[in-house]
Structure 1
Amino acid sequence: MTNLYPASPGIKDPAVFQPTAAFRLQIVKVIGFILLFFLLYAIVLLTAITLGAAFITAGIALTGYYPNIFTFIAGPALVILGGLMLFFLVRFLFYRRPPVNPYRAPIDAAHHPRLFDFISRLVKETRIRFPEKVFVVPEVNVAVFYNSSFFNLLWPARMNLEIGLGLVNSVNISEFKMILAQEFAHFSRRSMKLGSYVYALNKVLYNMLYENDSWNDLAIRWSNNGSLPGFFAHVTMMLVNSIQFLLRKLYRLINRQYLELSREMEFQADTLAVSLAGTAAAVSGGRRVEMGTYCLDHCMHKLSELETGGQQFRNIFHTHRAVIDYYALQNRLDTDAAGLPVIPDSYFHSFLKSRVQLREQWTTHPTREDREQRYLAAGITCEQVNASAWQLFNDPELLQEQSTRQVYDTLSPGVAGETITPAEFVAELTHRHRLYEYPAVFHDYYDNRAFTAVNTEDERALSATVVTDMAQLYHPDIVWRIRSYYRDKQDVETLQAIAIGQFQTRTFEFDGQSQKASDARELARKLAGHVAAEQDWLQQHDQQAYFYHYQRALAKGPDTVRLLTTRYQQILMHQEFANRLNDQVVRVIHAISQVFNVGHDTLVLLEPWMEELRAECWRFRRLLHEVTSSPGYTSCLSPELYDRVQRFTMQDCIFMQDQVPDYVAFQELHEIISSVMEQYNNSNVLLRKSFLEFLLTMEPEA
């Protein structure tokens, strides 16, 4: 068997793997809270069992010692109440929650000996137990999972390993080792003995208290049937909900301590992983995972669209790799000998991240930048194996096609289609990109935003511009400032949502600094002031841009000036109508969501929302009539969609037939909304692109 396992640097210094004293102290604090949870857990459990047993005993004793008509009714009732109490308590506390992933497929050592030998070597180096089972999934990740249950509070479950084939498609062997080692390190006896237990235990507690709905669903079904046992089930459900509420309150205290610990646990896992794979693999692997995730998500999101057109992938991972290549080409990235993109620091200079960062419920992951800073500081060098991670698998082509088939069997079983090749998919992607791409000379200045309303009659302002060329007007620094403005505008909304409690969080990060939720209001006020100033600047700069092109049109003659103003006003008209259309679509979708939220069992509650949906649908129809009857709008729709819209506007907005919701009508409304918005917005993009190309015709020849 060929040895594909990369040699480790062989670091022997125990200080590299030993947690700091502060880290160990934090673990002890978390375990102290967990022990307190166990104590309360035991008290609540024993109290509830005693109460349930008392009801059963009282019911039996009452019937035996005082036999009469009343005790024959009250006795069995107490027995039923006590029995249901114990039953639902056991269902809640002693739950078992098997992890579900419909795309998961098992693999074994007999079919993939090189992979299992690779895992075995890494297991020894990280000092964890070999996974009980190994699965593959069509994702870009590696994950360890286990069946969470009450008994895992006492001793850890045997873990299983999930390997994303999208990850294998995106990295080389050394990077694969690094990413796998990061996941194993959370459970390693080499670097985090108690930490790994706390890591697993916190997830089990969260699953039990927040993702354990089977008992509640059963209790609701029983309590809704109107019988005497249903009434007792309702009473029991109230008791168990009270227990759940109490335990959740205590868990929040545990989780608060855990959140302080979890970031350091991630860094501790990174320390072990980078010591085994080296700095180079750690940095490049993280970057390739980000790109691979983006590209596979794009492929997965296209599945339903392709299915509508009668097309399917035979091997989604071939397409995924083709999209990675296309994305690398678009961003002018080099590739290595294995065909994987080389992602330098300069690639990230074009990305603008939110200044406000919220943390997940039960874990805190450092950013890629934070991790890379530590990887580079470690400076661990070792020989890299740059071959594709697919070399660890036997017959990867078959595995890829089986996984692809499993995706289709899960999403649309029994549906077949014509195969679309990776080359055809990328060709369509390229065509669409070129079709809606604005001229490069504008440097994305007009991308993803509306044109500014400008007074085209203000001759004094039109002749007062001082900009002398497009390079100055559309400089990349100007575009970066615009993107920062829109980023900050979104961050103001996020901060305001935190301030009013719309986002439930105690802390958040702003510009990399930890902040309390109570600080959000003041930060939002200050940032809003900056955003308002930038909005004024952008308004003035957009006017300056228009004035510049107006002067170019003057040099061409009055006919060009009229064409410039007419086309600009046409764009503004379509933008205004698009805003009206979008606002109405939002109201229609809100009404539909309310109908489904209410449920279809209570017609009294459903009827008001049906009336609102009908009213919003009529308003939407009036806008569609405007589209089909106004010469300026009809060109925005294809002939096929134009006919569909015409037929739709002639129908009544009726969504109930014989007191039953008409799902066909809901579906038709949704399809019309989606199609009209897509075509109208795309038409507006093409209209703006045509206008920008027209502006270039007025530029003097170089």
Structure 2
Amino acid sequence: MQPNALAVSDKFRKMAIRSILSILLFLATYLFLIITAVAIVGLCAWDGYALMTFYPSFVTLMLGAGLISMSLMILFFLIKFIFSTEKKDNSHLVELKAEEQPELFRLIQVVVNEVNTDFPHKVYLSSEVNASVSYVSNFWSMFFPVRKNLQIGMGLLNAVSKTEFKAILAHEFGHFSQRSMRVGSYVYNANMVMYNMLYDSKGYKATLKQWSEASSYFNFFSSIAIWMVTAIQGLLKKIYEIVNINYLALSREMEFHADAAAARVAGSQPMINALLRIELAEQSLGVVFSYYNGKIAEAKKTDNFYPQQYFVMKQRAAAEHFILEDGLPQISADHYRKLNSTKLVLKDQWSSHPSNYDRINALNILNQPERPEAAGIAIDLLSNKEELQKAITFKTFLSVLFPEKATIEGLEIFSSEYTNQPQNVSFPRLYNGYFNKREPYHAFAVDSFKLPEQPEVKDISLLLDDQSVGTLHTLNTMILDLATVERIASGKTAMQTFDYDGRKYTTEECPTLIQSLRYEISTFEEVLDKRDQDIFSYFLHTASEQGKLTPFKKECLDYQTICKAFKVQQQIYLELSNATRFLKITTPFTEIMRNMQRVKTLEQEFIRQLEFILNNSLYESELTDTFKGHLNEYLAKDWKYYDNESYFDLELKMLIQAMTSFYTIIINKYLRQKKTLLEFQAALSENQSMVASA
């Protein structure tokens, strides 16, 4: 790397100067408070001594001692951070040694040399999709060097190439690559000092409580100390806000600098590829964690999460039609932009990281050529990868309490159950992702099937092209943007200004923008509703031409029935779920009674929906013997869940179990019915294409 490869930008210097100036403001205020506190200690010590000396008695002894103790407690509040140490729990990690992992440590050494930083003190493996360089932070680490540790997530190694991993390492080490970057570490430590004074006071409050309980005299002085400390905190919080805003702005610039280090070491594209894929990797591992969390009650677990993570990642990649290179999904920047096409730009002063979109743009501007490592996935850098994967999995399950000794399930059972879950199936490629988050048209009347008219658009590919999908993504993005702007308008964020579609807005201008967004959303919805009807008309006519109008009508009517029912059922489930949330928290008895009355009221409609499902042949395929058993037992009588200030746990468990079974049935049925209809239509289109080409 060239000596100036990691030169900081002008914007970084500007943010660093602002951060240092805000720290100086804090220090000036802090010194003033320290001097004042020392003066108070001196004054109280003299007054206390005088009181005890000139008017000796038990009362004056206690008052004098209380006066002196009060001043010392105020002073201690201002200096307690000096004795505070950040505690790190590494019990969930696996430490790696150079002699056991020569290939991994060779790569780390190469990156360390190129970035011009120190080799990490220790290297750990964790379970997640992440990598970080960390150290134990305290007051003294601002003045004395502290050796840093590297933590690597097994979920990350399982999802990136060796070259991408090299870029990620360079990014992490890039935070500490030059003296100029160490200002970020200094500001971080100063920030932690302020945080400790303002928010980390559990030990201090416990000491104050013990002191106040020692005597009624001390309780009086304790109240004064608390009042003075609260006043000091009020002043410091205002300054901390300024310091924190500038620190977070500096942190964003540090991320860009670290990305520049990654680009110089491995090239721009490997870092871009990693940024584009990490979200998919996190979601995939999250699916695996969620799956096994649901297996705890059955006393089932796995001895290795990571083959399952890789399986889910490939399944989701296939559903999105991503190509695989060296076994890893390649997500294009165009696809990412299509899914993140917001016009809303939030220069969020409370965000410490720039968006992936901004980082990708910055990396493209750098346009550094790729410097590839050996081919393959980063997990192959580990000499005994399967053994380490199992060790991490074992540590993750250590804190889990199973009802009995757990049995091990492998990839085969997981993959079978995963692919059979309706929410994990993909729709035919014909639809180009259009119906992934949109319902097929079902607002038709039965008469629509009598005399199908010629469709306005006779080529289905024109109705499901990239422009149509892009319009749908734009609508979905605008709906999210509207929700964000409404939150800003309500004062639920700290933002005062933001950009939308290239124009700056203040919070006072939010109502105008909200009205405009609502109008645009309604316009887009009209366009897409018309497109949905055109798609329906195309398949209606095609089914008629192929002599399949009757089965097509049945599929459409079945979907219409299930879709309409699902909307009602989902609303009932959500209302009942919200109404039972109080069961998870401590609640006053009078409030419990009111809440239970609401639960019983909502339960009546819930019961009607359960009976509808059990008596409707459309749901027969979803009603396993287990589900039927749960639901019939629940419906057998009118259960009582609370009385005499006590919950009835077995009855409540039956209610929750019935709710869980109910939602599983309705969501599975809805998704299966949707898939059945879309596959039937896709088959019609395929037959039409074969006839046309014959």
TM-score (norm 1): 0.83
Asked whether the equivalents of residues 463 and 551 of structure 1 are also in contact (C-alpha less than 8 Å), the reply is yes
Is residue 320–residue 433 contact of structure 2 (8 Å, CA) maintained in 1? no
- Give the 5 Å matches for 1:408-487: 408-412=397-401, 416-432=405-421, 436-450=425-439, 454=443, 456=445, 466-487=456-477
Query: Which amino acid in structure 1 is aligned with residue 675 of structure 2?
Result: K
Q: Which moved more, 1:543-552 or 1:362-371?
A: 543-552
Q: 1:585 aligns with which of 552, 566, 576?
A: 576
Q: Of the candidates 471, 485, 491, which is equivalent to residue 501 of structure 1?
A: 491
Paired position in structure 2 for 1:277: 266
Q: Per-residue deviation at 1:111?
A: 3.6
Q: Which residue of 1 aligns with 2:676?
A: 690
Question: What does 1:63-74 align with in structure 2 at a 5 Å threshold?
Answer: 63-68=52-57, 70-71=59-60, 74=63
Q: Partner amino acid for 1:587?
A: N
1:279-333 superposed Cα distances (whole Å, 9 cap, x missing partner): 3433334344344333222222222123344432222223333333444444455
Match in the other structure for 1:44: 33
- Which one of 238, 254, 271 corresponds to residue 249 of structure 1? 238
Give distance in 1, aligned partners of 2:145 and 2:508: 38
1:144 offset after TM fit, Å? 1.7
Number of aligned residue pairs = 681
SS in 2 for 1:192: helix
Aligned to 1:295: 284
Residue in structure 1 matched with residue 385 of structure 2 by the alignment: 396
Of 159, 162, 185, the match for 1:173: 162
C-alpha change, 1:336 and 1:550, in structure 2 (3 Å) is closer
Alignment correspondent of 1:529: 519
Measure how far apart 1:52 and its partner are.
5.4
SS in 2 for 1:302: helix
The root-mean-square deviation of aligned C-alpha atoms, in Å, is: 4.0
Q: Distance in 2 between matches of 1:289 and 1:22?
A: 27
2:118 is equivalent to residue 129 of structure 1 = yes
Alpha-carbon distance between aligned partners in 2 of 1:689 and 1:521, rounded to the nearest angstrom: 40
Could you say if the C-alpha distance between residues 672 and 239 of structure 1 is closer, same or farther in structure 2, counting changes exceeding 3 Å? farther
Question: What's the offset of the Cα at 1:182?
Answer: 0.9
Deviation, structure 1 residue 104: 2.6
Query: Conserved in 2, the CA contact under 8 Å of 1:63 and 1:75?
Result: yes
CA distance in 1, matches of 2:423, 2:29: 63
1:611 matched to 2:629? The reply is no
How many angstroms apart in 2 are the aligned matches of 1:461 and 1:66?
Answer: 109
Aligned equivalents of 1:652 and 1:147: distance in 2?
A: 57
Q: How does 1:365-384 map to 2 (within 5 A)?
A: 365-368=354-357, 370-371=359-360, 373-375=362-364, 377-384=366-373
- Matches of 1:251 and 1:672, distance apart in 2: 49
> Could you tell me which amino acid in structure 1 is paired with residue 28 of structure 2?
L
Structure 1 match to 2:562? 571
Task: Kindly provide the amino acid, as one letter, of the partner of residue 196 in structure 2.
Answer: M
Question: What amino acid maps onto 1:214 in structure 2?
Answer: K
Q: Which amino acid is 2:241 matched to?
A: R
1:386 aligns with 2:375: yes
**Residue 4 (structure 1) aligns with:** none
Q: Partner of 1:315 in structure 2?
A: 304
Superposition deviation, residue 138 in structure 1: 0.8
Aligned 8 A contact 2:78 2:197 in 1: no
* Kept after mapping to 1: 8 A contact 2:130/2:155: yes
Q: CA separation in 2, counterparts of 1:268 and 1:389? A: 24
What is the CA-CA distance between 1:223 and the residue it aligns to? 10
Instruction: Name stretches of at least 5 consecutive residues in structure 1 with no aligned partner.
Output: 1-9
- Cα gap change, 1:698/1:223 in structure 2, threshold over 3 Å: closer, same or farther? farther
Aligned to 1:679: 665
Q: Which amino acid aligns with 1:144?
A: V
- Mapping 1:616-627, distance limit 5 Å: 616-627=599-610
Alpha-carbon distance in 1 for matches of 2:499, 2:7: 28
Asked whether the 8 Å contact 2:263–2:366 carries over to 1, the reply is: no
Report the CA distance shift for 1:41/1:377 in structure 2 as closer, same or farther (over 3 A): same
Confirm whether residue 11 of structure 1 aligns to residue 2 of structure 2.
yes
Work out the CA distance in 2 between the residues paired with 1:104 and 1:677: 37
* TM-score normalized with structure 2 length: 0.84
- Given the superposition, is the C-alpha separation of residues 274 and 439 from structure 1 closer, same or farther in structure 2, using an over 3 Å criterion? closer
The one-letter code sitting in structure 2 at the alignment partner of 1:189 is Q
Q: Which runs of 5+ in 2 are unaligned?
A: none
Aligned-pair identity (%): 22
Secondary structure at the aligned position of 1:410 is classed as coil
Deviation at 1:424, TM superposition (A): 3.6
Identify which range, 269-278 or 518-527, moves more after superposition: 518-527
Contact 2:610 2:662 in 1 (8 A): no
